[in-house]
């Protein structure tokens, strides 16, 4: 064996899972240090609710429940090099859903950062996830430009927002899975909130508050708005909606096409066309007189290509303050 190969083997990153009480206690000690040092540094005279939550017992208890469940559990992992712990990760693999590995926490200890160690640890984590049934990976990068560039260097792409409005990144799945369109049946579906927040983030609006989420859910329950979702297996990757209203001109209901959004990673795969066609077919079956869309000039050609090809003039609006 040549010297170069021996050196490479010696410096290989390996992963060990914390399973003993001692290891689990060490994991949570390092996680707390990471939060205090890298994520929520204490700022005098400022109350930080996120800091209090993640450094408190409530977060640990909730994660321990996920760790202890039989399926879709999180794992407490250490990165090791030459027999020494140099960092940790806390992934959750959703094997009963669509094989998503969600990387909840990831850290290389400060003394070991640099010289490609972070990339090597991340590569080891992704290999471990694949060996344990993961089909793709996702994470919340917290809006940090440093973390954004790091994960982009590993092939991750920005991909909307989660149900709390936090920005997401995804390492695109290697496998192509057919996408089908369903009418939303559960007004409380958390994936609707995720798609809405991705849509709002893209157009420069604030994420849904709890109050607005409830108003949206109530509108769905009342039949005021109907959502269509694009499903890639378990995962909802796109949506559109139709809001009905009565037209005195047509003397029957008309529809307004809204909330048109496909997650960035899954664009240019024909999903937008499937969503638009599903909404149009539904309107036809219900006898809705017309389905209209209000759009920016830059989107006109896209909507015309999707079948919105009758121009009805110019739309004006009064927005009560």
**What are the sequence ranges of the domains in the chain?**
3-134, 179-305
Helix (H, G, I), strand (E, B) or coil at 121: helix
Task: Give residue 46's pLDDT.
Answer: 63
Per-residue CA distances from 73 to 56, 132, 225 (Å): 21, 12, 35
Q: Span 317-321, mean pLDDT?
A: 81
pLDDT in tens, 224-253: 999 999 999 999 999 999 999 998 888 999
Residue 247 CA to residue 253 CA, distance in Å, equals 6
Helix (H, G, I), strand (E, B) or coil at 44: coil
Residue recorded with tokens 């996680």: 31
Mean residue pLDDT across the chain: 92
Helix (H, G, I), strand (E, B) or coil at 291: strand
The domain covering 179-305 belongs, at the CATH homologous superfamily level, to: Gcn5-related N-acetyltransferase (GNAT) (3.40.630.30)
Output the DSSP codes for 243-263.
EEEEETTTTEEEEEEEEEEE-
Q: Do 182 and 275 form a contact (C-beta atoms < 8 A)?
A: no
pLDDT at 204 over 80: yes
Per-residue CA distances from 22 to 26, 36, 75, 123, 263 (Å): 6, 21, 15, 26, 41
Do 179-305 and 3-134 have the same topology in CATH? yes
The domain covering 3-134 belongs, at the CATH homologous superfamily level, to: Gcn5-related N-acetyltransferase (GNAT) (3.40.630.30)
How confident is residue 272, by pLDDT bands cut at 50, 70 and 90? Answer: very high
Q: In terms of C-beta density within 10 A (0-12 exposed, 13-18 middle, 19 or more buried), how is residue 247 classed? A: middle
Helix (H, G, I), strand (E, B) or coil at 55: coil
pLDDT in tens, 165-179: 999 999 999 888 999
Which sign, positive or negative, has the C-alpha torsion 244, 247, 253, 258? negative
Per-residue CA distances from 76 to 22, 91, 201, 264 (Å): 12, 8, 32, 30
């Amino acid at each position: 064996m040549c010297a170069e190969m021996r050196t490479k083997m010696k410096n290989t990153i390996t992963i060990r899972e914390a399973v003993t009480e001692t290891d689990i206690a060490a994991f949570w000690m390092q996680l707390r240090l990471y939060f205090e040092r890298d994520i929520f540094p204490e700022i005098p005279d400022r109350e930080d609710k996120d800091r209090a939550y993640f450094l408190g017992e409530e977060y640990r208890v909730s994660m321990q429940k996920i760790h202890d469940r039989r399926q879709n559990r999180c794992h407490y992992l250490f990165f090791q090099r030459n027999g020494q712990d140099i960092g940790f990760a806390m992934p959750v693999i959703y094997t009963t859903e669509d094989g998503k590995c969600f990387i909840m926490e990831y850290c290389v200890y400060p003394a070991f950062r640099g010289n490609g160690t972070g990339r090597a640890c991340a590569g080891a984590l992704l290999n471990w996830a694949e060996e344990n049934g993961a089909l793709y990976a996702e994470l919340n990068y917290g809006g940090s430009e440093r973390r954004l560039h790091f994960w982009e260097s590993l092939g991750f792409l920005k991909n909307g927002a989660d149900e709390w409005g936090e920005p997401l990144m995804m390492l695109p799945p290697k496998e192509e899975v057919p996408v089908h369109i369903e009418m939303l049946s559960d007004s409380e579906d958390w994936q609707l909130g995720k798609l809405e927040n991705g849509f709002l983030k893209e157009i420069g609006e604030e994420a849904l508050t709890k109050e607005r989420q409830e108003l949206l859910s109530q509108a769905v329950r009342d039949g005021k708005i109907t959502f269509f979702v694009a499903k890639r297996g378990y995962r909802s990757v796109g949506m559109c909606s139709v809001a009905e209203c009565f037209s005195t001109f047509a003397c029957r209901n008309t529809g307004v096409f809204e909330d048109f959004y496909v997650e960035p990673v899954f664009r240019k795969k024909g999903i937008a066309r499937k969503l638009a066609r599903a909404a149009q077919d539904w309107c036809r079956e219900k006898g809705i007189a017309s389905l209209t869309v209000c759009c920016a000039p830059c989107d006109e050609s896209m909507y015309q290509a999707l079948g919105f090809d009758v121009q009805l003039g110019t739309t004006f609006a009064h927005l009560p303050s």
